[in-house]
Amino acid sequence: MDRLDRYRPIIERVLGWYAAHPPSHGNIETELIVDREQDHYLLLDLGWGNTGRVHSVFGHIRLKGGKVWIEEDGTEKGFAVEFVEAGIPKEDIVLAFYRPEHRKLTEFEVA
């Protein structure tokens, strides 16, 4: 089994948890969007909050070059931490929301 085949269900399980637990304020739904062909995973918040319309991507993960690229992470704990706890090694996780030259300052893959 290819390692990315092992990572896909982990990503879906972690992001699925967030989709099942939407924000407690406002009338907001959290949607998990999965594109298995292109290996993109999105978490969207949609609805109406206390200050108006909510339409935001708070999570975006993609698989690229044999690595898990975290493009957007709006969680407190951090997807990277959750992925490591679930069995994805740090060397296979790229914190893409950091500038490439700053990634070397993290304990994760630089790219």
pLDDT in tens, the chain (111 residues): 699 999 999 999 999 999 999 888 889 999 999 999 999 999 999 999 888 999 999 999 999 999 999 999 999 999 999 999 999 999 999 999 988 898 988 888 887
Q: What is the pLDDT of residue 50?
A: 87
Per-residue pLDDT tens digits for 58-76: 999 999 999 999 999 999 9
Q: What is the pLDDT of residue 22?
A: 84
10, amino acid identity: I
The hierarchical CATH code for the domain 3-103 is: 3.30.310.110
**What pTM did the predictor assign?**
0.91
- For residue 29, CA distances in Å to 23, 25, 42, 43, 53 come to 8, 10, 13, 10, 12
Q: What distance in Å separates the CA atoms of residue 89 and residue 99, rounded to the nearest whole number?
A: 21
Give the start-to-end residue ranges of the domains of the chain.
3-103
Residues whose CB is less than 8 angstroms from the CB of residue 19 and which lie 6 or more positions away in sequence, other chains included:
30, 31, 32, 43
The 3-state DSSP class for residue 89 equals coil
Pairing of strands 27-35, 40-49: antiparallel
Q: What is the pLDDT of residue 1?
A: 61
